[in-house]
């Protein structure tokens, strides 16, 4: 109401949108608004028809007669039982006396109704006449000055040149002016000196970086997927595109179309496809127990909410579960909008190993050349491969080979479970197994059938593994895991869970491998008493979980880890010894088991052809079991072979027994396929949008529940807004064209308001995320509409709009707050002074790096990992199973890259930037909060980036300021604050330097500690006590409120 009261005094007639709608929205719409499901008394006050309706002999609102209007009667009554809003309503407090009086005056003046201002297309207002035309530099000033003259408030004088250059440099590039740029600007006495500086900044490559910072928040950009695993993704190519198009000044209408529907343009370029990554920046889940359909609905709903917020300032997410309570957005509107984004060929659970489909490969020129060549060669070789000759040769080979393959070794065989269809022991010792809990299901295996275990099955094989510390043995079997990504014991013979006496064989947690499969290591433990008397080892190599693997454990009876060999798929594997302290018997009365919950998490997967030998098998014998035996079984099975068996037989033949020319041709194919796979793996990707050939059906989801389908809907825009342009396709391209149609009431307003917010700290509409009924009305509605129409008139020229704002006299005012302005307009909503507020988190850090000379100004590229407190990621990590779980700090120049290139992990964003109010980017952030806390000072004092920057700045002070402390301080002030220090400031800092240097002379170890922070080496040409003292002075200057604020 701050801005309303004076205006009312000057213009007594009530304006519905300015004065009345906010009251109705705050106090009435929750029960008498657009939401059909929650509406009370069948009364709507958000529409003219509802408010002016006649109801059983009385009027809700009778224009010209408040006393005859039931609305006024109910809000003005002194009877609590009749008063509206109800006295018991905590959500909607009673109206104030001033609000009741406003509604009375409105009704008595005729109850003029108006559509909500934001839903009416902007019209270009005439420039208002002002008394002091000499204060008007461009049309912005006419609107602002007219309001100030109306309010009787004086504008502020222009800021001094140095302050103005520092302000506009931060606003257009996010960096301070260099001393050379400042000197050149101060020397330039021409009338257009400032305009020339603005042009230079708009042409700077750092302009694109500054503009991108705000858009990264809107786009919820991050380098990880989010949710609890929060592993990495690669979307930095989209960030590079964003910076590039801001620098190229891509018109905002094309900027919109390419991000929302670049893939639907005719013959889209690679850049236009990359642009669509905007709507793939949402979080993605792949947790084991998650439901794909649920998360797919989340992704699509996120796109609805982000698109409506970013381009329209609408809170469409409030209509996901029911009709919007305050704005004319039905739940059906939400899901009709949802239908535009429900056509992406994506999975509900994806991204386990990086980017989720669909994604775009971005090969380098060399990679593309080689990939094209390999693809061509592979196609050529596959077409030329003599398939018929292979079939004939293989048929002949099968007849001959059937009699030549040796049977597997029988000597020393104490147990053999073929597991084809039963748990019978076929070794001749008849120690048959049994299912203790659950059911063993038999299906296809590697050598005939196999036993399939559900994860709840407990099977026991009595005396099938008579192990002892001093007796050799060999255990061999096939396994294929299908369980969750956790450590699983596949087979165990353990009688006590506490001591774990006996043996265990299993696989550890998986990690993603480049081939998009799960990599596991196999382990073996032989234990007397855990953990101090045991042998424990695991393979160094990782294997694809989900594939069949033949495991053979060979133990020589020595009681030492060196006496254990692990074979996987017929080959001896290098192992990592985790324990080698076995000092007692390992004999166990327990049977061989799988799935005993008392001992280990039940195994989920398949087992086949288990054998136990009471001796050490030779390598050739193990090869026989792993390589030849499945072939022998397949040969005997004849026409009953599975496709898997036939493929295995064919590969065996072509790799070992085929004629030489067929073996060579097959080897060449394998080599080309492997190279293509490696090339595909190494080529970087970025996630993009794409369209399904057949769109999914879209339904209203009742209460927002993905399982509860209501009415079927098709792509459509909200009914309260203009329809799609004639002839526009009903897809994302049509939606994008609709958004940038000049008749759209919201897009241009929202965009220019966001630019205004970037420069002045608050938008003309303060709630830049909400232009609806619950949002704030514009402080200068005519100026907002003029800017919106000007934006469209200039062809959506983004740089032209920035130029217009920063060259206005309004922007160029001094930011000093006089006592009169503080009393009249403490938040500067009248714009009687220039902007002053703390720099954004990224700019606070970039400023310190820039003024210290440490900044690496390289543009673009992958994200980097600057200094961060230890264990921030590790506290929430999922072990070493997934990527982005352990923070690996960058080194060298990458430590000093600009902050927008910092790797952004959603569940643990960069803590120093979070302290300065950066968002976590789990969702779209249209407006950052701005806080002041002691933690911010602690970051500036202690974070290695700022300590190192202070030391580098101190080195410059010493070298450029000579022996004169005053000159040193003046050097720092010019670099950091773009001004000269006052004499009192010089004296305070000189005294600080003297005190600190005396302290460091007495305690040189403190100086060493301070100078040892960070990777850059301290200047050896300066005494440690002197450099440390001036580092403290530099840190003090960097900590000034003025240093981290835009003046």
pLDDT in tens, 294-327: 999 999 999 999 999 999 999 999 999 999 988 9
Q: What's the confidence (pLDDT) of residue 636?
A: 67
Strands 575-580 and 533-539 come out as: antiparallel
Claim to verify: residue 607 and residue 474 sit in the same structural domain: yes
Claim to verify: residue 975 and residue 997 sit in the same structural domain: yes
Cα–Cα distance measured from residue 631 to residue 707, given in angstroms and rounded to the nearest whole number: 48
Please list the residues that pair with 902 across neighbouring strands: 864
Claim to verify: residue 138 and residue 62 sit in the same structural domain: no
Mean pLDDT of the chain: 92
* Residue 84: its H or E element: none
Q: How many domains is the chain partitioned into structurally?
A: 4
pLDDT in tens, 526-582: 999 988 999 999 999 988 877 889 999 999 999 999 999 999 999 999 999 999 999
DSSP line for 689-733: ----SSPPPEEEEGGG-TT-EEEEE-S---TTSPPPPTT--SSHH
Query: Does residue 197 lie in a domain region?
Result: no
Lowest-pLDDT range of 160-174, 197-211, 422-436? 422-436
Which tokens is 783 given? Answer: 């100026």
Of 796, 821, 837, the residue at which a domain comes to its end is: 837
Lowest-pLDDT range of 167-171, 384-388, 846-850? 384-388
Do residues 230 and 907 lie in contact, with contact meaning Cβ atoms separated by under 8 Å?
yes
Assign residue 596 the CATH number of its domain.
2.60.120.200
Which tokens is 711 given? Answer: 């009415």
Claim to verify: residue 816 and residue 956 sit in the same structural domain: no
With tokens 């789990």, the residue in question is: 922
Lowest-pLDDT range of 145-154, 669-678, 772-781, 923-932? 669-678
Q: Tell me, yes or no, if the pTM score tops 0.85.
A: no
Least Cα distance to 286 among 349, 340, 234, 225 occurs for 349
> Angle formed by the axes of helices 934-942 and 1024-1038, to 10°?
150
Could you tell me the pLDDT band of residue 1027, with boundaries at 50, 70 and 90? very high
pLDDT in tens, 746-791: 999 999 999 999 999 999 999 999 999 999 999 999 999 999 999 9
Cα–Cα distance measured from residue 307 to residue 551, given in angstroms and rounded to the nearest whole number: 53
* Percent of the chain predicted with pLDDT > 90: 72
Claim to verify: residue 47 and residue 149 sit in the same structural domain: no
Claim to verify: residue 469 and residue 576 sit in the same structural domain: yes
Please list the residues that pair with 543 across neighbouring strands: 520
Q: What's the confidence (pLDDT) of residue 637?
A: 66
* Percent of the chain predicted with pLDDT > 70: 96
Three-state helix/strand/coil letters over 460-517: EECCCCCCCCCCCEEEEEEEEECCCCCCEEEEEEECCCCCCCEEEEEECCCEECCCCC
Per-range mean pLDDT, top range of 83-87, 508-512, 671-675, 868-872? 868-872
Give φ, ψ of 602 to 5 degrees. -60, 140
Q: What's the confidence (pLDDT) of residue 111?
A: 84
Cα–Cα distance measured from residue 359 to residue 695, given in angstroms and rounded to the nearest whole number: 19
User: What are the Cα distances from residue 605, in Å, to 251, 480, 545, 595, 845?
Assistant: 56, 6, 10, 11, 52
Question: Where would I find the beta strands (DSSP E) of 719-840?
Answer: 837-838
Cα–Cα distance measured from residue 831 to residue 809, given in angstroms and rounded to the nearest whole number: 11
Claim to verify: residue 968 and residue 821 sit in the same structural domain: no
pLDDT in tens, 611-647: 999 999 999 999 988 888 777 777 766 567 777 778 8
Claim to verify: residue 832 and residue 975 sit in the same structural domain: no
Query: Does residue 895 lie in a domain region?
Result: no
Query: Does residue 575 lie in a domain region?
Result: yes
Query: Does residue 126 lie in a domain region?
Result: yes
Q: What's the confidence (pLDDT) of residue 881?
A: 67
Claim to verify: residue 447 and residue 594 sit in the same structural domain: yes
Claim to verify: residue 95 and residue 122 sit in the same structural domain: no
Query: Does residue 596 lie in a domain region?
Result: yes
Query: Does residue 247 lie in a domain region?
Result: no
Could you tell me the pLDDT band of residue 81, with boundaries at 50, 70 and 90? confident
Of 837, 857, 887, the residue at which a domain comes to its end is: 837
Query: Does residue 153 lie in a domain region?
Result: yes
Claim to verify: residue 605 and residue 488 sit in the same structural domain: yes
Cα–Cα distance measured from residue 846 to residue 278, given in angstroms and rounded to the nearest whole number: 25
Of 837, 870, 885, the residue at which a domain comes to its end is: 837
Cα–Cα distance measured from residue 977 to residue 687, given in angstroms and rounded to the nearest whole number: 42
Helices and strands in the chain, H and E counts: 35, 27
Question: Where would I find the beta strands (DSSP E) of 792-870?
Answer: 837-838
Least Cα distance to 471 among 585, 374, 551, 343 occurs for 585
Cα–Cα distance measured from residue 170 to residue 761, given in angstroms and rounded to the nearest whole number: 13
Q: What's the confidence (pLDDT) of residue 517?
A: 46
Query: Does residue 50 lie in a domain region?
Result: yes
Give φ, ψ of 891 to 5 degrees. -140, 160
Cα–Cα distance measured from residue 774 to residue 22, given in angstroms and rounded to the nearest whole number: 7
Cα–Cα distance measured from residue 125 to residue 786, given in angstroms and rounded to the nearest whole number: 6
User: What are the Cα distances from residue 812, in Å, to 603, 616, 636, 787?
Assistant: 71, 87, 90, 18
Do residues 442 and 468 lie in contact, with contact meaning Cβ atoms separated by under 8 Å?
no
Q: What angle do CA 922, 686, 230 make, to 5 degrees?
A: 35
Q: What's the confidence (pLDDT) of residue 155?
A: 97
841 contact partners, CB below 8 Å, separation of at least 6: 899, 912, 913, 914, 915, 916, 917, 918
DSSP line for 553-579: EEE-SSSSGGGEEEEETTEE--EEEEE
Cα–Cα distance measured from residue 122 to residue 749, given in angstroms and rounded to the nearest whole number: 8
Claim to verify: residue 128 and residue 91 sit in the same structural domain: no
Cα–Cα distance measured from residue 689 to residue 235, given in angstroms and rounded to the nearest whole number: 13
Give the domain range for residue 947.
942-1046
């Amino acid at each position: 109401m701050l801005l309303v009261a004076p205006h009312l005094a000057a213009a007594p007639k009530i304006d519905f949108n300015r004065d009345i709608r906010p009251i109705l929205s705050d106090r009435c719409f929750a029960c008498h608004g657009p939401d059909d499901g929650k509406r009370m008394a069948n009364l709507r006050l958000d529409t003219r028809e509802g408010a002016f309706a006649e109801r059983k002999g009385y009027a809700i609102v009778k224009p010209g007669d408040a006393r005859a209007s039931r609305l006024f009667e109910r809000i003005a009554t002194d009877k609590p039982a009749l008063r509206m809003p109800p006295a018991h309503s905590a959500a909607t407090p009673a109206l104030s006396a001033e609000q009741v009086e406003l509604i009375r005056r409105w009704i008595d003046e005729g109850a003029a109704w108006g559509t909500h201002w934001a839903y009416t297309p902007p019209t270009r207002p005439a420039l208002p006449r002002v008394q002091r035309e000499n204060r008007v530099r461009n049309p912005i000033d006419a609107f602002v000055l007219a309001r100030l003259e109306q309010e009787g408030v004086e504008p502020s004088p222009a800021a001094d040149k140095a302050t103005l250059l520092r302000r506009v440099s931060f606003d257009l590039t996010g960096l301070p002016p260099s001393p050379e740029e400042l000197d050149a600007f101060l020397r330039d006495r021409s009338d257009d000196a400032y305009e020339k500086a603005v042009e230079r900044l708009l042409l700077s490559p750092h302009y694109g970086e500054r503009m991108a910072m705000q858009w990264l928040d809107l786009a919820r950009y991050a380098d990880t997927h989010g949710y609890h695993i929060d592993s990495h993704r690669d979307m930095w190519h989209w960030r590079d595109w964003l910076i590039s198009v801001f620098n190229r000044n891509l018109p905002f209408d094309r900027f919109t179309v390419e991000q929302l529907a670049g893939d639907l343009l005719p013959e889209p370029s690679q850049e236009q496809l990359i642009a669509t990554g905007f709507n793939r920046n949402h979080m993605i889940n792949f947790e084991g127990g998650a439901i794909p359909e649920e998360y797919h609905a989340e992704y699509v709903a996120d796109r609805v909410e982000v698109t409506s917020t970013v381009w329209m300032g609408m809170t469409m997410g409030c209509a996901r579960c029911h009709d919007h309570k305050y704005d004319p957005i039905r739940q059906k509107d939400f899901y009709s909008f949802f239908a535009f984004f429900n056509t992406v060929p994506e999975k509900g659970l994806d991204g386990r190993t990086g980017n989720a489909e669909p994604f775009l490969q971005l090969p380098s020129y060399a990679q593309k050349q080689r990939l094209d060549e390999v693809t061509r060669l592979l196609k050529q070789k596959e077409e030329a491969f003599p398939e018929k000759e292979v079939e004939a040769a293989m048929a002949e080979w099968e007849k001959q080979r059937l009699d030549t393959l040796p049977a597997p070794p029988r000597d020393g065989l104490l147990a053999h479970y073929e597991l084809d269809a039963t748990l019978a022991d076929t070794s001749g010792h008849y120690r048959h197994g049994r299912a203790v809990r659950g059911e063993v299901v038999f299906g296809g295996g590697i050598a005939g059938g196999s036993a399939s275990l559900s994860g709840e099955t407990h099977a026991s094989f009595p005396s099938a593994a008579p192990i002892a510390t001093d007796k050799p043995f060999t255990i061999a079997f096939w396994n294929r895991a299908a369980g969750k990504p956790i450590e699983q014991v596949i087979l165990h013979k353990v009688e006590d869970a506490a001591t774990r006496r006996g043996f265990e064989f299993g696989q550890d947690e998986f990690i993603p491998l480049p081939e998009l499969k799960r990599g596991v290591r196999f382990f073996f433990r032989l234990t007397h008493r855990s953990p101090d008397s045991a042998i424990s080892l695991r393979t160094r190599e990782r294997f694809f979980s989900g594939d069949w693997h033949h495991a053979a454990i060979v133990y020589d009876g020595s009681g030492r880890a060196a006496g254990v060999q692990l074979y996987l798929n017929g080959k001896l594997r290098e192992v990592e010894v985790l324990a080698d302290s076995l000092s007692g018997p390992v004999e166990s009365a327990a049977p061989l088991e799988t799935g005993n919950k008392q001992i280990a998490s039940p195994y989920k997967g398949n087992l086949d052809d288990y054998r136990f030998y009471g001796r050490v098998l030779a390598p050739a014998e193990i090869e026989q079991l792993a390589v030849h035996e499945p072939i022998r079984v397949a040969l005997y099975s004849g026409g009953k072979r599975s496709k898997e068996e036939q493929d295995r037989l064919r590969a065996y033949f072509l790799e070992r027994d085929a004629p030489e020319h067929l073996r060579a041709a097959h080897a060449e194919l394998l080599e080309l396929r492997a190279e293509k796979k490696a090339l595909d793996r190494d080529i970087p990707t970025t996630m993009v949008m794409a369209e399904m050939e057949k769109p999914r059906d879209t339904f209203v989801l009742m209460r927002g529940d993905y399982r509860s389908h209501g009415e079927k809907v098709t792509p459509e825009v909200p009914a309260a807004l203009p329809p799609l342009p004639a002839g526009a396709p009903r897809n994302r391209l049509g939606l994008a064209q609709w958004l940038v149609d000049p008749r759209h009431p919201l897009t241009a307003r929202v965009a220019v308001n966001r630019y205004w917010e970037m420069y002045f700290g608050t938008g003309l509409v303060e709630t830049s995320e909400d232009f609806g009924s619950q949002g704030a009305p514009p402080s200068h509605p005519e100026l907002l509409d003029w800017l919106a129409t000007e934006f469209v008139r200039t062809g959506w020229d983004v740089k032209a709009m920035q130029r217009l704002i920063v060259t206005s006299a309004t922007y160029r005012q001094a930011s000093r707050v006089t006592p009169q302005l503080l009393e009249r307009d403490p938040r500067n909503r009248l714009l009687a002074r220039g902007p002053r507020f703390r720099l954004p988190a990224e700019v606070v850090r970039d400023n310190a790096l820039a003024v210290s000379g440490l900044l690496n100004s390289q543009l673009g590229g992958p994200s980097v990992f600057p200094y961060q407190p230890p264990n921030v990621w590790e506290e929430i990590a999922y072990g070493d199973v997934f990527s982005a779980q352990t923070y690996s700090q960058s080194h060298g120049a990458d430590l000093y890259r600009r902050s927008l290139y910092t790797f952004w992990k959603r569940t643990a964003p960069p803590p120093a930037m979070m302290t300065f109010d950066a968002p976590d980017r789990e969702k779209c952030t249209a407006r950052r909060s701005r806080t002041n806390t002691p933690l911010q000072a602690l970051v500036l004092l202690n974070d290695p980036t700022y300590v190192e920057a202070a030391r580098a700045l101190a080195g410059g002070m010493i070298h450029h300021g000579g022996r004169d402390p005053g000159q040193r301080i003046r050097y720092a002030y010019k670099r950091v604050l773009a001004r000269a220090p006052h004499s009192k400031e010089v004296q305070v800092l000189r005294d600080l330097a003297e005190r600190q240097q005396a302290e460091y002379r007495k305690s040189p170890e403190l100086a060493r500690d301070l100078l040892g922070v960070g990777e850059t080496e301290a200047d050896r040409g300066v005494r440690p006590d002197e450099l440390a003292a001036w580092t403290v002075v530099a840190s003090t200057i960097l900590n000034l409120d003025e240093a981290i604020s835009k003046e």
